[in-house]
Structure 1
Amino acid sequence: MLCLWSIQVKAAVKYNYPVANSTKRLIMSQITLKVQAFWDKDAEVWVATSEDVPGLATEASSMEILTQKLRVMIPELIVLNGIIASDYVGSITFELISHRQELIQVA
């Protein structure tokens, strides 16, 4: 049976996250999770995914709503994936990188 810190350390190594040597705990304040978002013109929503947050896939009609959803989903998913402990208290930083391309007709 693996103890929780062992799972955290293995997840940290897998995702290349920094770990405090003395406590074997993730140093979440030193991590910036990258989230990519793009505009789906057919569905008219922003779609967000991330290689840093396994299982993250969500959509919203605006960037503001998308950001609100990410503030809830990111901590939930990194706990579920064993990247941080469920009793973690501290900061988590994410960077939302967006892309939107439009065609403009000029008369």
Structure 2
Amino acid sequence: MSSIILVRADWDDEAGVWFATSSDIDGLAVEAPTVEALYERVSGALQDLVELNGLV
């Protein structure tokens, strides 16, 4: 069974980075200088957080 995890990505002008958060999974707070790098970091973080949150 799979679930949908909604991740929100926004640009922080002051810090000059993209950041991602989610209200669907505890602990997701990732930032990166590009959208591509953010995607990679979010993907890695989600794998760990899904396991840590007992969603597997």
Tell me the TM-score range normalised by the shorter chain: over 0.9
1: CA distance, partners of 2:9 / 2:39: 10
* Greater C-alpha Rg: 1
Give structure 1 stretches of 5+ with no counterpart. Answer: 1-26, 85-107
Percent sequence identity over aligned pairs: 39
> Which of the pair has the greater relative contact order for Cα pairs under 8 Å at 6+ separation?
1
Partner of 1:50: 22
2: CA distance, partners of 1:55 / 1:39: 19
Amino acid corresponding to residue 58 of structure 1 in structure 2? V
2: CA distance, partners of 1:65 / 1:45: 10
Number of residue pairs matched by the alignment: 56
RMSD: 0.8
Give structure 2 stretches of 5+ with no counterpart. Answer: none
Q: Which runs of 4+ in 1 moved over 2 A?
A: none
Partner of 2:47: 75
**TM-score, normalised to structure 1's length?**
0.50
